[in-house]
Structure 1
Amino acid sequence: MSVEGWNTVLVLGGIRSGKSEFAESLVADAPTVRYVATSAAADPDDTEWATRLAAHRARRPGSWTTEETADDPRRLADVLASAGPNETLLVDDLGGWVTVLLDPAHQPADDVATITELADAVRASEARIVLVSPEVGLSLVPTTPLGRAFADALGAANRAVADACDAVALVVAGQPAWLKPSAPLPPVDVPTRAAPADGTDGAVPAAAATVPADGPLPEVLTPTVPPAPRTPAGTTWTTPTMALPVVATGLVIQPGMELPMPDEYAGPQAVQRLGTLDLPRAGLGVLERVVEFAAATQGTPTPTPWTDVRVLLLHGDHTGGVAAGAPVGESTRLARQARAGRGALARLAAENGAGLQVVDAPPAAPIEHGPALDADTVESALRYGWRLAEEAAEAGVRLLVLGACGAGAEAAAAAVLVATAGAEAPTVLGRVHTADGEIDDAAWMVRCATVRDALHRTRRSPRDAKDILAELGGGDVAVACGVLLGATARRVPVLLDGPVGLAAGMVARDLAGQARHWCLLVDHGGHPAVRLAADVLGLTPLLDLRLDLGEGANALAALPLLRSVLALAGSLPAHPQHGGPDDDGDSDLPADAAATVPDAEPETAAPVAAGDGAGQPDVTPEFAEPTPAGPGPTTTAPADAGPEPDPSGRRAG
């Protein structure tokens, strides 16, 4: 229903101008519409007016519902204020509402206060609303006091509601003319871009709008702490299935690609092996999934800790309403800080011996007014991300960590999730915080409205993976999607961290379903978009620490724990019952030693009778009971002097 991104509309027009038909056309695409009728019941003797009302009703689709507010004009404000964000309301019209408002039966009433309440309800409502009203400012001044009172009240109502609405249209002879806005404009007080911290205007050159698929890759920074040694000799890594560079082979990234899957046997075997290790009680708990994931992606039941790790920090700003509340220049500062080896991400990368690669992604246009990227830029961004993963695999990287720091990136990722998972924008958009740590609800509402407008703008667009990246995702999500696909092709696992990586996972799922099996989510961070995407992709977060250090830094903070788990799983010996050394450090027991206990004397244990006692042969058990330490029988055999067993098999009472 939105008109150029605006969602509350006042439609003005004269008598028989076609204003009602035009208003109905604005909501024609809505699945359900609540039609709010404001006029009082007509005089039974006025057949002409009854015919007009019947024509109005006949135009309404069967899916519409009708609600009348003529009995109490104040109730219209309550109806608008209580409507939900997924509702569409058509109010027809304010002329009938003012007529009831001036009716002596509803007096005494403060007309000005009631009109103010209506305007406030329109301004605060979360629903999509179209209001119809007669334009009385172009007519002659009425000659009667009641006529002048009606014109004054309706003119005041039109002005108040027009000020509260996002858009106003005037219909003349069936032709609409937009009075507000005269042209599509971005919302006021919303940063259209994040300016660099160096004081420049931040203008993006035309060449920066696309990522060259065959251009140079960003520099891989070396942390201050020396990286850990490479994989120990003897560890077998599965050979990549796509060893040739994607650009050289001319591979087309498209839906239905057949990429490798992790080893389906190594993961369960690794978990089974954990049950034989010398671990107390529940052992690793839910972190067994780390061992299973590492075993499957490394192709061995005895995985080793990830020693060669690289962090990819995607820096791509989004303009328009999705960046509402984002400090100007903050994302550029974070990217520059990471390049200089400062900040939380660089420090954690150094502590983990991980490489850090800051990747500049194409900036995205406002999604409420048009596509974020063009099709060629999406294709280049996908191939660019694939090349980043390929280069990492060629350099010996065994684990990628994906993060992002662009302005508006979270809201753009939420838009992708709304489009791919069918959610509502308010349920997946996290709270917006100011630089002082305070919650900015106004910016959050702007982001919600922007995502809602973008989804409505693309309601008839295809929902293919590349279309979603072009319309809603932007450069960082597109590059991240290419990274996931390239890492899958080269059998490199990826730690996801934050909405951008999860949104890329949702899109990559439609291009190659195998990609999600190479992804691991450490912590959801309390972000609703991450929770939703993880549930759809089947990625259960390992931890619930609610870390909020920034995308990429959260995963790095938990990486030492994951490495410790893999080190334990690979270095601990088997339990003595499963052939491991005993407490004295003796050599491993024979494979069948666990079936007996040294103190037991199998030769003194009499066989246990089996069968029903009717001539069935005795069966010697495969084990022997140990000698009890305290009082009690020393054998499981029946007493020699005892009575003969009852042939019927019943015990004596």
Structure 2
Amino acid sequence: MSLDGWNTLLVLGGIRSGKSEFAESLLADAATVRYVATAAGAGDDDAEWAARLAAHRTRRPATWSTEETAASPRRLAEVIAAAQPDETLLVDDLGGWVTVLLDPAHQPADDTATIDELAAAVRGCAARLVLVSPEVGLSLVPTTPLGRAFTDALGAANRAVADACDTVVLVVAGQPCRLKPATAEPAPAVPPPPGRPSVNGLGTTVPAQAGPAGEQPTNGAAPTLPASPPVTTPELPAAPVATGWTAPPTAPPVVASGAVIQPGMDLPMPDEHAGPQAVDRLANLDVPGTGLGVLEQVVSFAAATQGTPTPAPWQSVRVLMLHGDHAGGSAAGTVAGESTRRADQARAGEGVLARLAAESGASLQVVDAPAAAPIEHSPALTAEQVESALHYGWRLAEEAADAGVQLLVLAACGAGTEAAAAAVLAATAGAEAPTVLARVVTETGEIDDVAWMARCAAVRDALHRTRRSSRDAKDVLAELGGGDISIATGILLGATARRIPVLLDGPVGVAAGLISRDLAGQARHWCLLADHGGHPAVQLAADVLGLTSLAELRLDLGEGANALTVLPLLRSVLGLAAALPARPARDNGGGADETPEPEPVEEAEEAEPDFREPEPDGPGPTSTEPAEPADQGSRAG
């Protein structure tokens, strides 16, 4: 389990659950750690407890220092409060601290006040702090007064410290479960217009920057953007370090800060020469067969985006998972809360997408998109919300580029995304909703035709409502697209500006591709379609965008997961194309094992069999010449 973005963290767990080992693993990369030991030393008559303490000491690295606080219950709060910003503290554990607190030698004492002092110290701690504590709330109520006093005091301490910490993790049987995720400070909220959903990447309203006297900014002003969500790397063996890959030197245009995202932006194009050169090089590789087949386009695409005829496999990959729901008929047939459960799974490093990302060594960033209003009744978003979402997506792409990411994978989970993509496709490509909306399949595998008809009706009514509206890119996003497609569009534009290719495979990604095409035509040339999955909207959008699906596996693992399944194949192809040598030239020196020198052209022509029709001696079916008249005097007699 990978955790990012925390400063104070509480690790809970039962006896022998592995909580201490997990807490220590979080600080494995720290140069120095102050280990704060809270338990009293073992007596002469308790060899087993002494062995436990010795095992803890042996496990600590040599660079760690140990500080004992068992002499006084208030000593722990003093140590935490006095810690400096450049320090790292590990407190193990609060159960030992409560034992000291309840020791008769320290009574009478105000236990509640002492626990409050500890929580206040944790809340104001400037250092990086990890606290370990036993979870006693799941056990039986003790039968002795002292046992009940211990569980009550420790339960109160755990609640107070958990409230003060950024993040709380519960370790059960060695498996960490995240209870309290680290959250970035939300942007200042303003009341949304009546009947409109709030918007930002974290689910709260993101106002655009106000001008003088509270005026709304013009399109030339960059809106206030939410904090970027944390980036996690699911735990599996790390991907090999990339070698020989460098981005082309062309600098991206300065658009994301203060300028306008508008149609006609001049963004970079892939190298027009590197792609054909890479394909020509493939024809001369030493392979026994006819080559890479349709996967030649992968090599051509990577060569053009990397600016070299010998592209390297993508090593640093980031998955951007967009979580945004669409209300109304678009979401007909979906289970309430299912998309949120999928997003929480990915954040915790669980589920299909996180597993595939871990196997690929890819980082994973879950982005909360603003919820969209029912498109059959009102616009999905306001114009200000669309502007904010576009800049937010652009910034996510820029952050990925600054982190050295070489390939982005667009993923999405949200109720109603397929209907929203169908509405965008209908508005931009003239498609009919029933032809691009896939059948609705329930959790039990049954086809729900009633839900499918409700989605078709929602798209039909939305198109009728907007029949006189502009079909400009931003207007389509506001009326029909919603937050996830808006952020995805910003990601594609930002990735294009920073020369990062994007792997697509679902309705949200291709819908964003259709919108980005109208803002910057160069964006579609940086997109690669992994697998259309048999989805009619994806197939039609790919045809409009000029994208050819690399595989036809008809996977249905969720948008983004399909692309990650194909990614190892793409990496293998690029690695093979880069590593294979050219076909060796034939040596005509005359050795016994060498291919004999071909004969001169003239001799070869003479040796060829003659396939010309023979000239007949007399009339026949092969002759077109009139027959000679027979000699009347020469007659057999």
TM category (shorter chain) comes to 0.5 to 0.7
Partner of 2:545: 537
Structure-to-structure mapping, 1:66-215, within 5 angstroms: 208-210=204-206, 213-215=224-226
Identity %: 69
Partner of 1:516: 524
1:331/1:308 Cα in 2 relative to 1: closer, same or farther (>3 Å)? same
CA contact (8 A) 2:409 2:560 kept: yes
Partner of 1:581: none
Q: For 2:280, what is the secondary structure of its paired residue?
A: helix
Partner of 1:625: 599
- Whole-Å separation in 2 of the counterparts to 1:524 and 1:333: 25
Partner of 2:227: 216
> Is 1:231 aligned to residue 205 of structure 2?
no
- Whole-Å separation in 2 of the counterparts to 1:304 and 1:495: 16
After TM superposition, the score normalised by the length of structure 1 is 0.58
1:637/1:472 Cα in 2 relative to 1: closer, same or farther (>3 Å)? closer
Once the two structures are superposed, residues 285-339 of structure 1 have per-residue CA deviations (whole angstroms, 9 ceiling, x without a partner) of 1000100000000000000000000000000110000000010000000000000
- Whole-Å separation in 2 of the counterparts to 1:496 and 1:637: 54
Q: For 2:528, what is the secondary structure of its paired residue?
A: strand
Once the two structures are superposed, residues 198-238 of structure 1 have per-residue CA deviations (whole angstroms, 9 ceiling, x without a partner) of 9xxxx976772448643321100122024324421x43320
1:261/1:247 Cα in 2 relative to 1: closer, same or farther (>3 Å)? closer
> Is 1:397 aligned to residue 387 of structure 2?
no
C-alpha displacement at 1:263, in angstroms? 0.3
- Whole-Å separation in 2 of the counterparts to 1:539 and 1:365: 31
Once the two structures are superposed, residues 492-525 of structure 1 have per-residue CA deviations (whole angstroms, 9 ceiling, x without a partner) of 0000020000000000000000000000001100
Most deviating of 518-527 and 276-285: 276-285
CA contact (8 A) 2:206 2:224 kept: no
C-alpha displacement at 1:239, in angstroms? 2.5
> Is 1:341 aligned to residue 349 of structure 2?
yes
Q: Between Structure 1 and Structure 2, how many residues are aligned?
A: 400
CA contact (8 A) 2:375 2:480 kept: yes
- Whole-Å separation in 1 of the counterparts to 2:365 and 2:325: 17
- Whole-Å separation in 1 of the counterparts to 2:319 and 2:588: 49
- Whole-Å separation in 2 of the counterparts to 1:638 and 1:415: 69
Once the two structures are superposed, residues 451-480 of structure 1 have per-residue CA deviations (whole angstroms, 9 ceiling, x without a partner) of 000000000000000000000000000000
Once the two structures are superposed, residues 91-149 of structure 1 have per-residue CA deviations (whole angstroms, 9 ceiling, x without a partner) of xxxxxxxxxxxxxxxxxxxxxxxxxxxxxxxxxxxxxxxxxxxxxxxxxxxxxxxxxxx
> Is 1:382 aligned to residue 390 of structure 2?
yes
- Whole-Å separation in 2 of the counterparts to 1:456 and 1:226: 52
Partner of 1:462: 470
Which runs of 5 or more structure 2 residues have no equivalent in the other structure? 1-178, 181-195, 208-222, 608-614, 618-637
1:363 to 364, 367, 371: 371
> Is 1:280 aligned to residue 254 of structure 2?
no
- Whole-Å separation in 2 of the counterparts to 1:637 and 1:484: 59
Q: For 2:312, what is the secondary structure of its paired residue?
A: coil
Partner of 2:93: none
CA contact (8 A) 1:363 1:475 kept: yes
CA contact (8 A) 1:601 1:624 kept: no
Letter in 2 for 1:422: G
1:548/1:206 Cα in 2 relative to 1: closer, same or farther (>3 Å)? closer
- Whole-Å separation in 2 of the counterparts to 1:423 and 1:482: 24
CA contact (8 A) 1:210 1:362 kept: no
- Whole-Å separation in 1 of the counterparts to 2:339 and 2:593: 71
> Is 1:527 aligned to residue 535 of structure 2?
yes
CA contact (8 A) 1:403 1:501 kept: yes
Structure-to-structure mapping, 1:422-437, within 5 angstroms: 422-437=430-445
CA contact (8 A) 2:252 2:268 kept: no
- Say what the alpha-carbon RMSD is for the aligned residues: 3.0
C-alpha displacement at 1:372, in angstroms? 0.3
- Whole-Å separation in 2 of the counterparts to 1:539 and 1:215: 33
Once the two structures are superposed, residues 226-278 of structure 1 have per-residue CA deviations (whole angstroms, 9 ceiling, x without a partner) of 4324421x43320352275x443x12100000000000000000000001111
Partner of 1:310: 318
- Whole-Å separation in 1 of the counterparts to 2:199 and 2:499: 35
After TM superposition, the score normalised by the length of structure 2 is 0.59
- Whole-Å separation in 2 of the counterparts to 1:402 and 1:240: 24
C-alpha displacement at 1:638, in angstroms? 8.3
Partner of 2:138: none
Letter in 2 for 1:349: A
Once the two structures are superposed, residues 569-596 of structure 1 have per-residue CA deviations (whole angstroms, 9 ceiling, x without a partner) of 000111113xxxxxxxxxxxxxxx5677
1:597/1:326 Cα in 2 relative to 1: closer, same or farther (>3 Å)? farther
Which runs of 5 or more structure 1 residues have no equivalent in the other structure? 1-196, 578-592, 606-622, 627-632, 640-650
- Whole-Å separation in 2 of the counterparts to 1:383 and 1:565: 35
> Is 1:265 aligned to residue 239 of structure 2?
no
CA contact (8 A) 2:411 2:509 kept: yes
- Whole-Å separation in 2 of the counterparts to 1:530 and 1:265: 29
- Whole-Å separation in 1 of the counterparts to 2:342 and 2:295: 32
C-alpha displacement at 1:545, in angstroms? 0.3
1:480/1:638 Cα in 2 relative to 1: closer, same or farther (>3 Å)? closer
1:598/1:225 Cα in 2 relative to 1: closer, same or farther (>3 Å)? same
- Whole-Å separation in 1 of the counterparts to 2:234 and 2:426: 37
- Whole-Å separation in 1 of the counterparts to 2:415 and 2:324: 7
Letter in 2 for 1:237: A
- Whole-Å separation in 2 of the counterparts to 1:308 and 1:600: 46
1:205/1:480 Cα in 2 relative to 1: closer, same or farther (>3 Å)? closer
